[in-house]
Amino acid sequence: MNKSKIKEKAGIWTALAVIILSVSFVYLVPRAKYKGAPVTSGVLNAVPENVKSWQGTDISGMNNQEKGHVYNFISRIVAYQYENKKVSEYGISFIILDAGNFHYPKVCFKGSGFVSEELPEQTLRIGKKRLKVRLLLNKKKNGSLLTVYWICIDKHIVRTWTEQKIKQLYYSLFNKDRVGLMIRVDVPLTKNIKESFDIAEEFLNDLYDVFPLDYRDYIFSSLE
């Protein structure tokens, strides 16, 4: 075996050792429960009850329970059920939560009796912004839902779960505050997926217009 291959193997083993030590440090060393950056509370509290023609009802308590048990791993969550005052059949659920402690939406729906299917990414047109978001089609006998969701960490959309976990590891290692949020919109499936997606896009544009400027980019990213 030549020297270059020996060095290459040594580099790989060194990198693996660093990763193992880092993960061990994060998960084995006693640490305070993740609380997120102080500004996170400001973002969550800024979610309005009324959004232009949408009338909201706070359902945060309902989303934080399942079969009487509180989700202790979800540190902060805000959820509203919105109905469109102009078009009564337009109704959506909007959920925003601290991404430091949550689990994959597909797991949530599976636990609620839905059969979930991941759909190709779509682009949300929010003002001048173009956001790549993830979609789930959740099917049940008494009705199906289209879920549109994304994760935004420090004003930047996280495209993959791997990227999110790497960032979580980095911030945990160096004990850095970050504003990490998962934004989710659930829309009853209407005639087709596109129409339900368009309803979600309409609501999110209305929310973008009325959301406080100081907090807007934490949800919709700082990129055009």
Task: pLDDT band for 50, please (50, 70, 90 cuts).
Answer: very high
Per the listing, tokens 């599976």 go with 110
More confident residue, 113 or 172: 113
Q: Which residues are 83's β-sheet partners? A: 55, 91
Q: Which residues are 122's β-sheet partners? A: 133
Is the confidence at residue 115, as pLDDT, over 70?
A: yes
Looking at residue 20, its pLDDT comes to 55
Biggest distance spanned by C-alpha atoms of the chain: 74
Is the confidence at residue 97, as pLDDT, over 70?
A: yes
- Tokens coding 175: 């004990």
Is the confidence at residue 33, as pLDDT, over 50?
A: no
The proportion of the chain whose per-residue pLDDT surpasses 90, expressed as a percent, equals 38
More confident residue, 25 or 108: 108
Please give the span between the terminal C-alpha atoms of the chain, in angstroms, as a whole number: 51
Residues whose CB is less than 8 angstroms from the CB of residue 31 and which lie 6 or more positions away in sequence, other chains included: 172
Asked if 143 contacts 152 with a C-beta cutoff of 8 angstroms, the reply is: no
Number of neighbours of residue 80 by Cβ within 10 angstroms: 22
Nearest to 44 by CA among 108, 95, 84: 95
More confident residue, 208 or 26: 208
The mean per-residue pLDDT over the stretch 118-124 comes to: 93
DSSP state of 183: E
Angle at 113 between CA 109 and CA 117, to 5 degrees: 50
Is the confidence at residue 56, as pLDDT, over 60?
A: yes
Looking at residue 73, its pLDDT comes to 37
When the pLDDT of each residue in the chain is averaged and rounded to a whole number, the result is 76
CA pair distance 53, 72, nearest whole angstrom: 34
Asked if 185 contacts 54 with a C-beta cutoff of 8 angstroms, the reply is: no
CA pair distance 109, 111, nearest whole angstrom: 5
Looking at residue 179, its pLDDT comes to 78
Distances in Å between the Cα of 48 and the Cα atoms of 19, 29, 57, 114, 221 are: 42, 39, 10, 29, 19
Looking at residue 34, its pLDDT comes to 43
- Would you list the domain boundaries of the chain? 1-30, 33-220
pLDDT tens column, 128-180:
899 999 999 999 888 889 999 998 888 888 866 555 555 554 454 445 566 78
Is the confidence at residue 10, as pLDDT, over 80?
A: no
- Tokens coding 32: 């305070």
Nearest to 84 by CA among 170, 195, 199, 168: 199
More confident residue, 222 or 216: 216
Number of neighbours of residue 6 by Cβ within 10 angstroms: 10
